[in-house]
Amino acid sequence: MPSKTLSYTLILTQSPVQHESNLTAQSLVAELLDAGDTIDRVFFYQDAVYIGLESQVPGQGLETSYQGWLELQEIQQFPLQLCIANSLRRGILDETEATRYSKSANLKAGFQLSGLGEIAEACQSSDRIIRL
């Protein structure tokens, strides 16, 4: 009897430049996709929202962890969502918010700003929620 495929939402909370949870999460997502499971969304919360900052430059010899997310997203189209409140407090703006606050947009392509309602929806629709 084949195993049931599961749907997952990942919630990341750690800074992508100060913590390895981003790379750990990418490895996990790759394994889940290889197993035939689906990713409903990846939600970046608290300092994890820095993953979407366009002007971020990794240190010499370090990988750019955002690129791994974009590559995984190409395998299965799932949203890469940054908490809008956390993003705004850290100066990360999409075109809409940049216009609202008369600032320059600096959200990396492939990522989107979303509210906490996305997490509530994920709790209803995903089989598993994983927080890293």
Annotated catalytic residues are 83
User: What tokens does 17 get?
Assistant: 């430049």
**What is the distance between the alpha carbons of residues 25 and 33, in angstroms, rounded to a whole number?**
12
| Percent of the chain that is helix, strand, coil (3-state, to 5) | 40, 20, 40
Residue with token string 């995903």: 126
Buried b vs exposed e over 56-77: b needs ≥16 C-beta within 10 Å?
beeeeeeeebbebbeebbeeee
Neighbours of 127 (CB within 10 A): 13
Tokens of 28: 């996990």
- Cα-flanking dihedrals φ and ψ of residue 129, to 5°? -115, 125
